[in-house]
Structure 1
């Protein structure tokens, strides 16, 4: 299980951290930080209910510190890992994963190759530099993902779970909470990683709502939320100018608010007001 921080890709002259014989080296040029605390790994494994689906996909297992606890559950475990050295380690040390280790980039991977149309949960110690992108892809797959849990940079995990009225409340908060119940679970200190990062991590759980369909056009909802927060200090009347709405619509009091003042429900209401006039 690993974390990636900072820049992507290898750079000449950068070093790797020390690893015991037979272990995967945490490569500095990839910004890898391996979780070494068994208690934390066990706690993360317990964040899923393992109910209502048969498959679990772990993103970025590294040396399998979380994987070993997932394999104890009565579930079909698959892992996706882009680091070749980690893949080789998992193949050697985790025979139950035979045929279930996918050496792919999750962001570019078509999960239907493995799961078809089946429901599956996602869990992992997510690379910081792509953690938001992982969440956006999860939202695209929401019809198949009833549960999602794992570790992020603390500030990102808190932002996803934040409610309206906060300066950290934003696009991820609204879009995730439109379809999922989001709960921040616990904070993880840098000391449980090798090498330790410079920031705290946070573990969250997302549970899909029983009714996760929206009473408005979903593509328009995404567009309204993203456009509104691109100029979050402006009122919606100004930040949504590109929608070219009739003046009488913009006189509605909701357009006098800033995006951080709107709950997910009110963003749905806003989308419903815009929908008849959207091109």
Structure 2
């Protein structure tokens, strides 16, 4: 009987080694096989020269998890990689569900990583210093009516709002609707940060307002952070005060 392997579900952060945790690097180094979405594999390809790699395209999440589990059953140590943090819109939840459904005894360990919200916030300054929410505008797995409900709740609660997956070739209207909903609760001059390719090559940063945000490029590589009623910008930085008296 073969020795049971192990699966690391690794959050690689934005993709560069500089923003990857030591634990993530160690997990990848210890792994026999790296499994992941091709775009994310390409971000770390210089770390994988001596590794077996199994990459696949979009909408193959379940297949990747099943493949990782089969390798682990053969006694292999596997890193299943996600960008950002694997537990935030990543592969961790799916991997656990697949393993539990299989009634497998393979150990699954989640390795945390820097999220898109954290990376974008750092590039902008300090926009998430107070209570904030993350909302994905992708309705591939979540009904749009529920996403709209959550946007209303976030706006009503005066949260800083981090928008993931704001716009794609097939989803052009969602970011417009999200802005319209937030404008019911936030002023047009609310500060908004738009970061494309956060902490990666080709990073671009825009600080604008809720009224003007749609004038700038927004796509699937972009994270949009909408401030609360106290958020302000100064010297090309976006700051949400926590309430300290200076």
TM-score over 0.5 (shorter chain): no
| Structure with more helix by fraction | 1
Larger radius of gyration: 1
